[in-house]
Structure 1
Amino acid sequence: MSTTTTTSSSLYQVVADLDNFPYPTANDDDNPILQNYHAFRITGIPQTLGYIPNELITTFPWPADTWAINTTPTNKTITLLTSPTATASTRTAILLPTLQQLASHGILRGWRNETFPLYGPDGTIILEIERAASALFGIVTYGVQMLCYTDDKVSNTPHLWIAKRSSLKPTYPGMLDTTAAGGLSTGLPPREAIMREASEEAEIQEELMRKGMRFVDRISYFHVKKESVGGIGMVELLQPEVEYLYELRLGKEVVPSPADSEVEDFRLCGVKEVKKALGEGRFKPNSAVVVVDFLLRRGLLDGNDEDERIRVRLHRELPLPVVDHEGGRV
């Protein structure tokens, strides 16, 4: 019987499969893939804020009083028309009717009544956008993830509390996941967000988290996802994302427990078992890279040059405005 060893090389591929937006030779403005998108901009803000697929630009009737579209091959842009000094709430109100029309056309699906913040170059929120629309506009989104672990005195390595997603989940059903995770909605600091998720998903006590939870890393990646968009067909959506990572060491007496229908169960997994699951593609992709980051920081990979390639790839510099909610603290 043959056995498969999960090496740093194969774990690098796990990261590369998620961070699959092509790396440019100079800068992302010269990247050939961006010919398939219009740069999303807002009046008065000089920097590109996202990328909208050309198919969406040509298929949807963008209201002319709200949007200016430039189809020049070397400068394809779509600009939200607002006063240069407009407030975030004003821009949000101007954008909302377009989002509602995208939904009525069947293009924007899964409306959640939850907003993500869009940040400008100065780090301030310039508008809020319905979470379900973020991928259509190709903006940077933020998430939080936590890994709970125990110290195994026999193997002298940590054991991770891994969640198995419900088979009824619409996204990545039945796949493995971190202990708790979620998107970072408008107005919610990362620490509060992950504590809420861990309480709701794993029944971990808030007092325990406030005492022992640690912020350990901020990773970033640029994902290209092929997705069926209503009325258009298969489209490659751009999903640049930043994830804030937290850890919590649990005693043997603390066992995470599913608190809702989103998680089927939690299992305590050793490093070897976790690596095997990563190599077999059993983890939700953006949770897989969080586990890889954990193994890397703990010195549990191969300790060769490939480890450094993984470290660099986990911290991609994004060509869009990014804020650091944790102030660089690690």
Structure 2
Amino acid sequence: MSAPVVVRPGWVDAARARAQRPPARPRLPFAVGGHTVGSVDAQVFGQIAARRLLDERWQLSKEERSDGWAWQLGAADVGELDATDALNALARVLRATGHCGPWRDEQLAVCDAAGRRIGTVERGAVRPLGITTRAVHLVAATPEGDLWVQQRAFSKPSNPGMWDTTMGGMVSAADTLEQALARETWEEAGLAIDTLQRVAHGGHVDFARPCEAGGDGGDGGGEGAETGYMQERIDWFSATVPAGTEPVNQDGEVERFEAWPAEEVQARLAAGAFTPEAALVLAGYYGW
């Protein structure tokens, strides 16, 4: 017997195209101690360098390389570079000049092109620096097959009030992927990961697109606003929530949870009610 044909809804291809877009404004590679880790808005960094606001231990300079111009963050003298210290000094400059996202006091890993960690940086600085981040989502179902979805709190800096997967959150510098899954599942949904059934890694979704420097990845709101660049890999997991158990938010970032049948989820997806990240995670979940 042949496998059933999966019909992909028309919105999916357009959503995937929106998830992979070049920068809206000119950007240059950004390197730390010779290691390229991201990209920066050429005009913004020209203004920051001209104002010389960086800690005197660190130097921000525009240098010509074999592949073109790049911004380089390094030690001001011949001393050893502390990449984490330098990156967070730069993050404070971005914050002081209005080019940083909400300050979270949360460190995210900063890796070079080969995936080697060279340091960490404040979460609010990753979009203006074009640093690749990792996130994790959970698609959790009831035993009957309905999906638990959340409405994001209206106070969220990105996509407030939109619908999302059961859980979605960043992988911090202190976390493994599995630790982030467990921590975020508890903080957002009040569910202990070891009490869920059939927990499995489902796949991943990649994003590379312009965004507001002040957000966690939402599209820019106006002309000239997109001075950040979102590069993110989202690993998603599926699970079943046992009968008699319901998600309950713990951190104030969720307005409410609801359990929807597949028909309702898919209708809301087609109507654009879900965040871009959740929409593509759910497209993967449904095999689209």
- Give the alignment's TM-score, normalised by structure 2: 0.83
1:194, 1:93 → 2: CA distance? 28
1:275 aligns with 2:263: no
Post-superposition shift, 1:226? 4.4
Q: What are the residue-to-residue correspondences of 1:161-172 with 2, within 5 Å? A: 161-172=148-159
Look up the match of 1:76.
69
Aligned structure 1 segments of 4 or more residues deviating by more than 3 angstroms: 62-65, 82-87, 226-229
Post-superposition shift, 1:169? 2.5
1:186, 1:49 → 2: CA distance? 15
Structure 1 stretches lacking a partner, 5+ long: 1-5, 23-32, 153-157, 297-306, 308-330
2:280, 2:175 → 1: CA distance? 23
Relative to structure 2, which stretch is displaced further, 96-105 or 112-121? 96-105
Post-superposition shift, 1:37? 0.7
Post-superposition shift, 1:97? 2.2
Look up the match of 1:43.
33
Identity %: 22
Post-superposition shift, 1:138? 0.4
Is the contact between residue 218 and residue 242 of structure 1 (CA under 8 Å) also seen in structure 2? yes
Look up the match of 2:47.
59
2:135, 2:204 → 1: CA distance? 10
1:289 aligns with 2:275: no
The equivalent position to 1:222 in structure 2, one of 201, 208, 217, is 208
Identify if the C-alpha distance between structure 1 residues 188 and 84 changes in structure 2 by more than 3 Å, giving closer, same or farther.
farther
Higher share in helix:
1
SS at match of 1:41: strand
Number of aligned residue pairs? 269
Relative to structure 2, which stretch is displaced further, 118-127 or 261-270? 118-127
SS at match of 1:68: strand
SS at match of 1:108: coil
Deviations 1:64-106, CA, capped at 9 Å, x for gaps: 851220379x71200112499957xx11112322222222223
- Give the alignment's TM-score, normalised by structure 1: 0.73
1:40, 1:68 → 2: CA distance? 10
Look up the match of 1:235.
226
Q: In structure 2, give the amino acid aligned to 1:70.
A: E
Q: What are the residue-to-residue correspondences of 1:76-95 with 2, within 5 Å? A: 76-82=69-75, 90-95=82-87
Q: In structure 1, give the amino acid aligned to 2:132.
A: V
Identify if the C-alpha distance between structure 1 residues 66 and 247 changes in structure 2 by more than 3 Å, giving closer, same or farther.
same
Is the contact between residue 11 and residue 278 of structure 1 (CA under 8 Å) also seen in structure 2? no
Output the aligned Cα RMSD: 2.9
Look up the match of 1:310.
none
Post-superposition shift, 1:267? 1.0
